[in-house]
Amino acid sequence: MNVKLIYSTPNYHKLVESVMRICYQSYDKENENSHKSIRAVMAKGHLSITSVGNMVFEIEPNNYTSFLEDLLHMQEINSFIRWTTPFNSKNDSDRFIVSMNMLTFLDLYKDIDMNDDHNETFYYMLEEVNKVPELRWFYDKTIELPGSVNIYSDKGCPKLYEPIVLNEDYTKLKELGFNDYELGIHATITMNFVTDRAISLQLWRHGASTGGCELSQRYVTRDDAEYRELFGTEDERLKDILKMTNSNNSQSYEIIYDHCINIGIRQGRAKEIARSILSNAIITQLIQCRTYKNWMHLFKLRDDKHAQIEAQQDVRSIKQALREIGVKVD
């Protein structure tokens, strides 16, 4: 069996750290060696931060039956593994393409028995990943990585209608000869963007192949809750009503929180109870990693006159950001 890792997200650990910093609002703790804190977060079971990025393998099996059994076994462990067959490739080869993010790989690493002959495919995949220190670091605690600047954090902070493309491998895989079908399955794009909580629920709902994370609710308080101005609210009376409602919500948050503290409820739980009355129009920040096919599906659903106006504007801003780096979105 010939197995080759033909692509992996550059500085994978730094991309994961960027997700962690956004989720937990710990930008002030970032330095050249702060990626080490990822291991502490993962040790607590918070593995969703590793659901971004991509690893792509080219595989030429000696025995199709055995190989397909291996693939099915891997999918039993984690259903987000992706593959395409030689029949859907324009290359004159017997290659299969298999791709996954780090979270999927870690699930396989944890659950697959390397002493079982039926897991030959993953054994060779693991050999390839072991050659890349930035990947091996996630599961091998003997590996230490040198300090470096975070190329993803350096891209800045997004604003409403100004998303940031954190990482994409569509361009690289296209250069490697992937056709449109293969790009749809294997190419991924990781976006860092701002929206409101109502729209974020819509975006997660249409994310069958989505990875990523969102700003933790614990950081939304009465002091810093920012409300999104909705389209079609130019009427002054309507503006006043919405402003009054948001103000009342903030005051109610304070009343509920203070009362919880007075009756002996711990601070963390008091915030959780008080947050229950905050508006869906509050701003939030998301990092979402989707396959190219899944982004196109989202665009079709939300860049549509029947979608909520705010959702339309959000996905159109994402599409524009992708156009600017040469990713086909139309």
Average pLDDT, the chain: 89
Return d(Cα 76, Cα 79) in angstroms, integer: 6
Distance CA 109, CA 178 (A): 27
Question: DSSP character for 127?
Answer: H
Q: Which pLDDT value is given to residue 314?
A: 96
Lowest mean pLDDT among 36-45, 87-96, 108-117: 87-96
Query: Quick one: average pLDDT of 60-79?
Result: 91
| In the chain, domain spans | 2-154+167-185, 232-275
Tokens standing for 97?
A: 């393409």
pLDDT of residue 146: 94
Please determine, for residue 222, whether its predicted confidence score (pLDDT) is greater than 60. Answer: no
Q: What is the pLDDT of residues 172-196, one digit of tens each?
A: 999 999 999 999 999 999 999 999 9
**Which tokens go with 168?**
């994409």
Q: What is the per-residue pLDDT for 90?
A: 61
From the list 210, 217, 227, the residue with the least C-alpha distance to 289 is: 210
- The whole-number average pLDDT for the span 238-257 is 83
Q: Does the 2-154+167-185 domain belong in CATH 3.30.1360.170?
A: yes
Residue 76 has pLDDT above 80, yes or no: yes
**pLDDT above 80 for 325:** yes
Confidence band for 109, pLDDT divided at 50, 70 and 90: very high
Q: Going along the chain, which residue ranges are E strands?
A: 2-8, 55-60, 82-84, 96-100, 164-168, 188-196, 211-214, 283-291
pLDDT for 225 equals 67
Cα four-point dihedral sign 203, 204, 210, 215: positive
pLDDT-derived band of residue 219, with 50, 70 and 90 as boundaries? Answer: low
Instruction: Please check the confidence at residue 285 and state whether its pLDDT lies above 60.
Output: yes
Q: What pLDDT does residue 32 have?
A: 93
In the block, which residue shows the tokens 């665009």?
Answer: 299
* Neighbouring C-alpha atoms within 13 Å toward the C-beta of 15: 29
pLDDT at position 283 is 87
pTM over 0.85: yes
pLDDT bin (cut points 50, 70, 90) of residue 223 is low
